[in-house]
Amino acid sequence: MIEASCHCGALRMEIAAPPQMVNECGCSICRKLGALWAYYSPDKVRLIPPSGATSIYLRGERKLEFHSCKTCGCTTHWTPVDRSKNRMGVNARLMAPEVLSAARMERSAGPD
């Protein structure tokens, strides 16, 4: 189990395992957010608190909800609008440096 949190600690995440790989997505929103994404099944990530601490941004085709802390503004994670999809992204930059440095880095172009 590892932990991640926004800068102010208003949102914390307990994650079943450290990421083996993180993705630096090159799409327009991910570039501007500066996020590194670690992908998990939603049942492997526990959000504390489970709701209310983040604001949600829906972009473009409105397929992903990007969550950011309402207090400090850190982008914490994304979830699919279609809850039948079994994947979410956690911003790995919110993990401890030693956890992040152990993961393999990939880069993707992104859809735009």
Give the pLDDT confidence score for residue 107 in this predicted structure.
93
Q: pLDDT band at residue 69, thresholds of 50, 70 and 90? A: very high
Q: What is the span of the domain harbouring residue 41?
A: 2-108
Sheet strands side by side (includes 21-25): 54-58, 64-69, 75-80, 88-91, 37-40, 21-25, 104-108
pTM to 2 decimal places: 0.93
Above 70 in pLDDT, residue 111? no
- Among the listed residues 80, 83, 91, the one whose alpha carbon sits nearest the alpha carbon of residue 25: 91
Number of separate domains in the chain: 1
CB 1 within 8 A of CB 16: yes
Mean pLDDT, rounded, for 102-107:
95
Tell me, what CATH number does 77's domain have? 2.170.150.70
Give the pLDDT confidence score for residue 109 in this predicted structure.
83
